[in-house]
Amino acid sequence: MDDASLRRSTIAHLQVAHAAERAQLGELRTLRDEVGIPAVAALLDQHLMETIAHGDRLEERLEELESGSSIRLLVQSTVGSVPKLVVDRLRPQDGCACLRDAIAAEAAEIATYGLLEIEATRAGDESTAVLAQEIRVEEVAARDELGTFWNQAVDVAIAAGAAASGATVTKVARALLVDHLRDVHALERNAAIMLSTVLGTVRDDVARERVEDHRAATVRHGDMVLERLRELGSGPSRRKQAQGLAFAAVKGPFNLVRTERAAKDLRDMYVVEHLESVAYAQLAVLAQRAGDERTQALAGSHALEAATMSDWLERETARFALESLAGGR
């Protein structure tokens, strides 16, 4: 790939990151207002300021490269967030849900900046690579700090539910556990669909084998979660599954027109794996609060597998992304 093509690719990645930061502003404001835990709200408010600063730094770098933000990407990111905002209004909103959304958003940002750093390094653009690295470090710190509040969010949600319904703390915890299991089942179901899509873009043999193995594991995990739901007298949520499929439908048309599909599928896969790891770790806490040892053991095992895959993706990002980018041109 010639220098001009490398430069254009770096600019395209900068535009993606810029659009992502601008789209995240609205979500952060919503989460900050609804999270219900003062310390988390303060942390989200701090990160809101950081997000504005990140967007400004990216815009400044684009100007230095004699470019600007992408109106198309800004519109896409806004349109893509509309279904989620509508769904958020339909579902019960509590500290657990808000915190989970915030952590997921950070995972997406971390992956985006990891790919930007790789692409900028490949293009010999040290300034952009350093910028991506610096912002990524801040995003990782925000994700990790948010994660420390999960136990508190669970306790607040259980106490609030018990106070509102008059039910025992254990009964409320079990209800939250079932709801979270249904979330995890929907996540696994849609992750399996996403992984099937990724297989269509992967050219690296080692990566393809790993993705195929993990897709099989994802299907197995979803089946095990469904079995546990039925043992608890419940079942899957059609609404939650439909939400995931609706988001995939919105994302699908944009995938058809975006460049470097394989590298961006890698980013999507990293985000989903990180979200699975977090979701199962959170599920384990809920199971412990509900006194459900079987679900706690299942969650711990699946969290470990998801974390292992997430770590592998992070280690292999440079090699896989560069090879897939080269093969996609």
Report all structural domains of the chain as residue ranges with CATH numbers, in order of start: 1-149 (1.20.1260.10), 167-329 (1.20.1260.10)
Least confident of 36-40, 131-135, 168-172, 310-314: 310-314
Q: Is 73 exposed, middle or buried (0-12, 13-18, 19+ CB in 10 A)?
A: buried
* pLDDT, tens digit (0-9, with 9 covering 90-100), for 285-299: 999 999 999 999 999
Stretch 6-34: mean pLDDT, rounded? 83
Percent of the chain scoring above 90 in pLDDT: 28
Q: What is the mean pLDDT of the chain?
A: 78
User: What was the pLDDT predicted at 252?
Assistant: 37
On the question of pLDDT at 19 being above 60, the answer is yes
On the question of pLDDT at 136 being above 50, the answer is yes
C-alpha torsion sign, points 176, 180, 185, 189: positive
- Collapsed DSSP state (helix, strand, coil) of residue 22: helix
Give the angle subtended at the CA of 144 by the CAs of 311 and 281, to the nearest 5°.
65
On the question of pLDDT at 259 being above 70, the answer is no
User: What was the pLDDT predicted at 225?
Assistant: 96
What pLDDT band is residue 207 in, cutting at 50, 70 and 90? confident
Q: How far apart are CA 117 and CA 204, in angstroms?
A: 21
Q: How far apart are CA 254 and CA 75, in angstroms?
A: 11
Q: Is 167 exposed, middle or buried (0-12, 13-18, 19+ CB in 10 A)?
A: middle
On the question of pLDDT at 81 being above 80, the answer is no
User: What was the pLDDT predicted at 306?
Assistant: 85
On the question of pLDDT at 73 being above 50, the answer is yes
User: What was the pLDDT predicted at 279?
Assistant: 84
The rounded Cα 110 to chain-centroid distance in angstroms is 9
pTM for the complete prediction? 0.75
